[in-house]
Structure 1
């Protein structure tokens, strides 16, 4: 029988992917609550008026707050952010989902759209972070 910790550790070995586990959910709870607060126009206005002040009202880690300020979506995922909640952040900046996600891949919007229209990333290539070495 496989140990649950060994099983969950396998999720961290998928290149370019962050599996949203219970551990990430706990880590990102306040971050995701902040993001959901942006569903209300009043909160979006307060956030954009002074992002640091708005973020400091949330019990998030300093690293999470800085990643929000930097709009570093990949780092936010590493810190427990859920992409569906983080969508509220980039939508509040006027970005489409496609635009925001393309920045996470290092591709232009056009390159990202073309890749997705062609069926997405190829299943061929590096399948394990350990294989990169």
Structure 2
């Protein structure tokens, strides 16, 4: 049983720690396998058959199929490994970040060039919950 961690209260963030690493081991093994062209070719030819080689959970497998980038991280994926799947799909890291934030590529780039997201209103999940309640 994992202990509650203070950093779980950071909104929009899944910290890759030892617990998430254990949970996502097979998912990450799949993703890192895509660094080799022969594996990308096999995956692209038959995703289901290739995924069968990795005993992921049903949720992890579905997140891969759906290319649900944030869900992959929530289920133990490491961003640097899951980015191999994105790269296989022709998505670079900046584009992936734009997709994951819901901002899109250009807005995400502009935010980063301007210094990144302000910590104000982004420190605790309750701050985001309060914003949603105001809508």
| Shared fold per TM-score greater than 0.5 | yes
Q: What CA deviation, in whole Å up to 9, does each residue of 1:48-101 have, x standing for no partner?
A: 111111111111001101000111110000000000111110111111111111
Q: How many residues align?
A: 128
Q: What CA deviation, in whole Å up to 9, does each residue of 1:25-70 have, x standing for no partner?
A: 0000110010010011010001011111111111100110100011
Number of the residue aligned with 2:108: 112
List runs of 5+ in structure 1 lacking aligned partners: none
Number of the residue aligned with 2:74: 78
Shift >3 Å, 4+ stretches: none
Give the CA deviation at 1:10: 1.1
Number of the residue aligned with 2:8: 12
List runs of 5+ in structure 2 lacking aligned partners: 131-135
SS in 2 for 1:115: helix
Q: What CA deviation, in whole Å up to 9, does each residue of 1:3-25 have, x standing for no partner?
A: x934xx21211001111110000
Give yes or no for the alignment of 1:42 onto 2:33.
no
RMSD: 1.3
Number of the residue aligned with 1:122: 118
Residues in 2 aligned to 1:108 and 1:128: alpha-carbon distance in whole angstroms: 23
**How high is the TM-score relative to the length of structure 1?**
0.91
